[in-house]
Amino acid sequence: MSKTRKRPTIRDLAEAAGTSVSTVSFVLNGTWQKHRTNPETAERVLALAAELGYQANQRARALRLGRSSLAGMIIPHHRNRFFAGLVENFESEARARGLVPIVVSTQRDPEIERQVAARLVMQDVELLVVAGVENPSSINRLCRNKGVRCVNVDLPGPDAFSVVTDNFGGARALTRRLLEDLAPDARAIFLGGRESEYATDLRIKGFLAAMQEKNLTAGDGDIVRCGYSPVAAHKALSDLFETPGNPPLAMLINSITAFEGFATFWRDRPDLASNVRVACFDWDPFAACLPVKTLMLRQDVENLIKVCFAWFDGEEERAGEISVVPPRLIIDDPGPEYD
């Protein structure tokens, strides 16, 4: 068992086939017809390549050709269906173009974001999709300096093309449904997200717009930007519901992670949480099974990624432009069939 026997190179093939490196290269790249190579030679080379299990060294090829065949993606983490969906679609689109997908997560740590972006750029990825980072602009600019094509998902900036979910429209549609049969003076709140965040800001605007339509106004403390963590959301809910007074009867929850906080709160205090109507700007199959009236929204990950690659396939820069993709409301969707 010759362990780790050295891989055959193009030179080995040439020697074995009794021809030149150039000719082998032509054959392997399918350009031999153009070079009027003897078909017999071509056949011999191909057979030998198969026999020896020849695989071209991608780094040598990339070095010579000046491209890497790598496509990078940056996400905060893998723990929810939104990012999982983005990743899976990214992978398949990249593969369809002969690119190897490299997906890295940052845990929303700006330091890791920086480091990871630099590393992907060092690898000369031919495309970088950026989703859910602190500040896309610094990454966008890094890419521009190094000649890497970069696109932002759901987080626009002036320095790159961006594709976003219709956050305003989605939140408004969710809120409309949420308020449909509610008493006219019922309290409704918005929960989750951080200060001055693009998507959150728009979702709040959509929430308020739908409130407006019903002549409702959001009071102090009705917009609860408690962050994304389940624990923080749980705590915010404890505060809201355990304080005597006017508990909310409806809420729009800003993300599936914040919704997780609601789920644990509901489990712990069904007495307090069972009467509230809930809508969530995201979808999860288990969350959809909780016995609380929950309206969910599924971002259209497939189209989000499709638009990224359409931009990539076209050669235009379009920095600062934003392409908006509508999300879908989930009422009782069984979800796709999979393993």
Partner DNA sequence: CTGAAAGCGCTTACAG
What is the contact surface with DNA in residues (CB under 7 A)? 6, 9-11, 19-23, 25-26, 28-29, 31, 35-38, 41, 54, 56-57, 60-61, 63-66
As measured in angstroms, the least distance from the Cβ of 155 to its own copies is 15
As measured in angstroms, the least distance from the Cβ of 66 to DNA is 7
Give the C-alpha distances (Å, rounded to integers) separating 158 from 89, 139, 168. Answer: 25, 12, 20
Phi, psi (deg, nearest 5) at residue 329: -80, 140
- Contacts to its own copies from residues 114-143, by CB under 8 A: 115-116, 118-124
**Could you say whether residue 273 binds its own copies (CB under 8 A)?**
no
**Distance from C-alpha of 241 to C-alpha of 232, rounded to nearest angstrom:** 14
Which of DNA, its own copies, none sits in contact with 21, Cβ below 5 to 8 A by type? DNA
- Contacts to its own copies from residues 232-261, by CB under 8 A: 257, 260
Question: Kind of pairing, strands 70-75 and 149-153?
Answer: unpaired
41 versus 255: smaller Cβ distance to DNA: 41
37 versus 105: smaller Cβ distance to its own copies: 105
**Distance from C-alpha of 124 to C-alpha of 128, rounded to nearest angstrom:** 10
As measured in angstroms, the least distance from the Cβ of 71 to DNA is 19
- The HSE-up count of residue 283 (CA atoms within 13 Å, CB side) is 22
The per-residue b/e assignment along 111-126, b for 16 or more CB within 10 angstroms, e otherwise, is ebbbebbeebbeebbb
Which of its own copies, DNA, none sits in contact with 219, Cβ below 5 to 8 A by type? none
**Distance from C-alpha of 221 to C-alpha of 228, rounded to nearest angstrom:** 17
End-to-end CA distance of the chain: 37
**Could you say whether residue 335 binds its own copies (CB under 8 A)?**
yes
Which of DNA, its own copies, none sits in contact with 11, Cβ below 5 to 8 A by type? DNA
Phi, psi (deg, nearest 5) at residue 280: -130, 135
56 versus 292: smaller Cβ distance to DNA: 56
Which of its own copies, DNA, none sits in contact with 146, Cβ below 5 to 8 A by type? its own copies
